[in-house]
Structure 1
Amino acid sequence: MEGTLWLAILAIFVLLFMSGFFSGSETALTATSRARIHQLEKSGDWRAVIVGRLIASRERLIGALLLGNNLVNILASALATTVFLHLFGEAGVAIATLVMTALVLIFAEVLPKTWAISNPERFAVTVAPIVRVVVGVFAPIVVGVEYIVRALLKVFGVDVSGDTSILSAHEELRGTVDLQHMEGGLVKAERDRIGGLLDLAELEISDVMVHRTNMVALNADESVETLIELALASPHTRLPLWRDETDNFVGVLHAKDLLRALHAAGGDASKIDILQIATPPWFVPDTTSLQDQLNAFLKHKSHFALVVDEYGEVMGLVTLEDILEEIVGEIADEHDVELEGLRPQADGSVIVDGSVPIRDLNRATDWTLPDDEATTIAGLVIHEARMIPEERQIFTFHGFRFTVLRREKNRVTRLRILPLGHKPSQPVSAAPAEQKTSSVVA
């Protein structure tokens, strides 16, 4: 009888070890990164190939591990009850319950799961060959259990037959990037670059284009000498040409083409025909996504396009650099002119030009002002206020206080923006007593 008792105790510890194996394997295989496993597969690790196949059928994997875990836990509890009844009589049931609860919790649940979660990829590739055998053995039972579960869920109106993910690949990547940034794995600049790349499919040309009011365009009817002087004075290498009317664009002049023509003419500008060296204008719809336009630029081997609305009217221009800046941030060279569009203040507020794009402001300040209804910060204020505000009017929405500092005709040209969480050391410019101020809370 003593030999049988010791065998039962030994069997309990073996079963506890198996329970820990199943628990740790479940945690590791469900927590492991599919991207890292894919990289291990590419490096030639045959165990990673097994892991990839196991997590590809996650429902069956979890079912087999849970089945194995429950079997060994129940068997271990039954053996422990028998052993403690033999040792302590009727009190053995209560003692067995307490002892097995402690042993299972510590050695079969918390310890193996903590170990597995500390390095899930390494744990997963280690246990994968054994788990594959377990899944194969329990497969018929698991299939039957899956069928019963699906049938019961359908009774309650839950359909789990589809294998589609709720989140798209872009959303999963964006969530991963944000999580890595919060945990310190990515600095802000890296997060912005990756986020900008993911945003290309969602943004339209109208969100990043240079508006026609800020375009530098040349009149093709001007003398060649004048055009050369204007081209040299401009920081841009590509300049749209118009004739008769400012809306009638007839070509795009490249500074290098102008230099070649001037050299070929022996420096005699009168021999140059501007329209002969200009390239035909390329017009693109303002609703084109940045991703499609980037592909179009690469396909056409062009860097410049004029943007038109649904009526064919030119709204502005877009360049390859404008799209690349959405990924890498502002690109400046020795010919760029620095514009003071953003000026942080000591009281925590920011003075910003109305023409500054909301996306650029968010990127510079790490704010989250919405850019769905407006492209520029002035457009956002007008959209929320439902009016063209007067100078010194104050509006509050989206957790910020907006003070209109300057207005020119119907354009808001300068604003002060203060996050409501900041307490200004100096009062923000207030309206005179005789002038009413508005407050719009969104």
Structure 2
Amino acid sequence: MPISLDVAVIIVSIAFAAFFAGAETALTAASRARMHALEMSGDTRAALVTRLIGMRGRLISSMLLGGQIVTIGSSAIATSVMLDLYGERGVAVATVVMTTLIVVFGEVMPKTIAIAFPDRFALAIAPAVLFFVTIFGPVVFAVEAVVRFVLRISGLSLTETESGVSGHEELMGAVDILHREGEVERDERDMFGGLLELAEVPVSDVMVHRTKMRLIDADLAPDEVVREAIESPYTRLPLWRGDPDNIIGILHAKDLLRALVNCGGDASKLRIADITIDPWFVPESTTLRDQLQAFLRRKTHSALVVDEYGVVQGLVTLEDIIEEIVGDIRDEHDETVMGARKQRDGSVVVEGSVTIRDLNRAMDWNLPDEEAATIAGLVIHEARAIPEPRQTFSFYGFRFEVLRKQRNRIAALRITPLGANPAAPRPSDQDSEPAPQE
């Protein structure tokens, strides 16, 4: 065979090697979600890509088989040519030349292009790849049978698959990567994450704690009840009798206003019991997703949260759940902001009752919320004690200083990031000794 023909065959073989290498990379890295969207819009090439991704094992085997055939074939031809030209030194020359050509043009370059434009590359080569997968099908099937047999006698089974992450975690990871790449805004990432986490967050993490609930004594005179309702920033007000833990009903401000109008504005004629609805109690372990569905079924917007002993722990509303998705909702009647104030020195003064989830979302931090719901609870959990004022701790990449303490509860903290990474893997020991209680 003329040398020129040999060179042409080698060039064509390297081109095929580049095709197989690029196809394997592109179809492995292609976005199944984008391909599905294109397929729904009528793109036949996207349908081919989806089909190929669905047979990922056979696809990879076929591309590897094709690449090995052309690589080995071109190397054999090159070795023959170099032996004719250089004698015994031809083997070394052929090895160096073919290794360079195959690595640069048959592997690195096509894979670099494919990983940079996986979707576009996959759409362009999908028909040709399907052709080769079909042609190599019988050989690949035989190879897979041999592989499965060897693995089986070795005690391994391909039918047992392991997955370290759930579908929700995979989606969250994808959205987080898109956010880092600038394709998804932070607010959109937080909304998507909040929606996915509804099934994992209990109502106890978002409820208004019992210490912050605005309760009304049901035995008060009607005009005093009206005054209490007007002064409250909330529209749904729990009524208690005898003991604040004995909630007997929920009074809606709109129902109170309607009844007041019907009485001609005379509050003394009101019968509060007639406009009070029965309280609805839910366990504190109920997830936000289940509670949201329950709100929709019952067509109500609030529920009282109780612990395993039936003691009221707080109040959860539909707005609390919606805020987990869209972020903090504030109107002109809200008393305070979130409870965290940024300082000029970069620190943040936080009320102890602020939840870790709200703080992470507002400050774009990543403090863990598995062991505690509030920032005060996190400090107590890590300190293994109830800290005193001016006592400081460092963990998870932050410095926590206790500013105020009310009885056995941390009322306020100053949190200062220690470095660029706000989420160090493990906490460190206490920084300083506690100061005397003032």
TM-score over 0.5 (shorter chain)? yes
Q: Counterpart of 1:314 in structure 2: which amino acid?
A: V
Which residue does the alignment assign to 1:223? Answer: 221
Mapped partners of 1:93, 1:245: distance in 2: 95
Which residue among 34, 37, 41 is the counterpart of 2:35? 37
Which residue among 302, 318, 321 is the counterpart of 1:320? 318
How far has the Cα of 1:323 moved from its partner?
1.0
How far has the Cα of 1:339 moved from its partner?
4.3
Mapped partners of 1:378, 1:16: distance in 2: 64
- Cα deviations by residue, 1:139-164 (Å, 9 ceiling, x for unpaired): 22212222322333345544322356
How far has the Cα of 1:165 moved from its partner?
4.0
| SS of equivalent residue, structure 1 residue 200 | helix
Mapped partners of 2:154, 2:178: distance in 1: 38
- Cα deviations by residue, 1:38-67 (Å, 9 ceiling, x for unpaired): 111111111111111111111111001100
How far has the Cα of 1:10 moved from its partner?
2.1
RMSD: 2.2
How far has the Cα of 1:91 moved from its partner?
2.7
Matches within 5 A, 1:237-386: 237-339=235-337, 341-386=339-384
Which residue does the alignment assign to 1:63? Answer: 61
Mapped partners of 1:34, 1:317: distance in 2: 42
**189-198 or 167-176, larger mean C-alpha shift:** 189-198
Which residue among 171, 181, 184 is the counterpart of 2:182? 184
Which residue does the alignment assign to 2:425? Answer: none
- State yes or no: 1:214 paired with 2:207: no
How far has the Cα of 1:253 moved from its partner?
1.1
How far has the Cα of 1:176 moved from its partner?
1.2
Distance 1:167 1:155, change over 3 A: farther
- State yes or no: 1:175 paired with 2:173: yes
Distance 1:285 1:119, change over 3 A: same
How far has the Cα of 1:75 moved from its partner?
1.0
- State yes or no: 1:201 paired with 2:195: no
Q: Counterpart of 1:153 in structure 2: which amino acid?
A: L
**350-359 or 389-398, larger mean C-alpha shift:** 389-398
Mapped partners of 2:338, 2:138: distance in 1: 70
Q: Counterpart of 1:218 in structure 2: which amino acid?
A: I
Matches within 5 A, 1:95-134: 95-134=93-132
Mapped partners of 1:395, 1:190: distance in 2: 33
- Cα deviations by residue, 1:153-202 (Å, 9 ceiling, x for unpaired): 34554432235644211111111122222223333323222222222111
**386-395 or 14-23, larger mean C-alpha shift:** 386-395
| SS of equivalent residue, structure 2 residue 389 | coil
Q: Counterpart of 2:59 in structure 1: which amino acid?
A: L
Which residue does the alignment assign to 1:425? Answer: none
Q: Counterpart of 1:186 in structure 2: which amino acid?
A: V
Q: TM-score, normalised by structure 2?
A: 0.91
Q: Counterpart of 1:110 in structure 2: which amino acid?
A: V
Which residue does the alignment assign to 2:88? Answer: 90
Distance 1:147 1:167, change over 3 A: farther
- Cα deviations by residue, 1:277-314 (Å, 9 ceiling, x for unpaired): 12211111100011111111122221111001111111
How far has the Cα of 1:318 moved from its partner?
0.2
Which residue does the alignment assign to 2:408? Answer: 410
Q: Between the two proteins, what is the percent identity of the paired residues?
A: 58
- Cα deviations by residue, 1:14-38 (Å, 9 ceiling, x for unpaired): 2222111111111110110111111
Distance 1:393 1:354, change over 3 A: same
Q: Counterpart of 2:66 in structure 1: which amino acid?
A: G
Q: Counterpart of 1:300 in structure 2: which amino acid?
A: R
How far has the Cα of 1:379 moved from its partner?
1.6
Mapped partners of 2:62, 2:153: distance in 1: 24
| SS of equivalent residue, structure 2 residue 413 | strand
Aligned length: 427
Q: Counterpart of 1:42 in structure 2: which amino acid?
A: M
Q: 2:343 touches 2:349 (CA, 8 Å); kept in 1?
A: yes
Which residue does the alignment assign to 1:440? Answer: none
Q: 2:223 touches 2:267 (CA, 8 Å); kept in 1?
A: yes
Distance 1:384 1:166, change over 3 A: closer
How far has the Cα of 1:341 moved from its partner?
2.1
Matches within 5 A, 1:154-165: 154-162=152-160, 165=163
- State yes or no: 1:145 paired with 2:143: yes
| SS of equivalent residue, structure 1 residue 406 | strand
**405-414 or 27-36, larger mean C-alpha shift:** 405-414
Mapped partners of 2:107, 2:400: distance in 1: 54
Mapped partners of 2:119, 2:398: distance in 1: 44
| SS of equivalent residue, structure 1 residue 110 | helix
**213-222 or 178-187, larger mean C-alpha shift:** 178-187
| SS of equivalent residue, structure 1 residue 373 | coil
Q: Counterpart of 2:344 in structure 1: which amino acid?
A: A
Mapped partners of 1:430, 1:349: distance in 2: 18
Which residue does the alignment assign to 1:387? Answer: 385
Mapped partners of 1:403, 1:165: distance in 2: 41
**228-237 or 390-399, larger mean C-alpha shift:** 390-399
Q: Counterpart of 1:402 in structure 2: which amino acid?
A: F
Which residue does the alignment assign to 2:428? Answer: none
Mapped partners of 1:304, 1:200: distance in 2: 17
- Unaligned runs of 5+ residues in structure 1 are 423-428, 438-442
**382-391 or 407-416, larger mean C-alpha shift:** 382-391
How far has the Cα of 1:372 moved from its partner?
1.7
Which residue does the alignment assign to 1:426? Answer: none
Q: Counterpart of 2:223 in structure 1: which amino acid?
A: E
Q: 2:206 touches 2:320 (CA, 8 Å); kept in 1?
A: yes
Q: Counterpart of 2:99 in structure 1: which amino acid?
A: T
Q: Counterpart of 1:400 in structure 2: which amino acid?
A: F
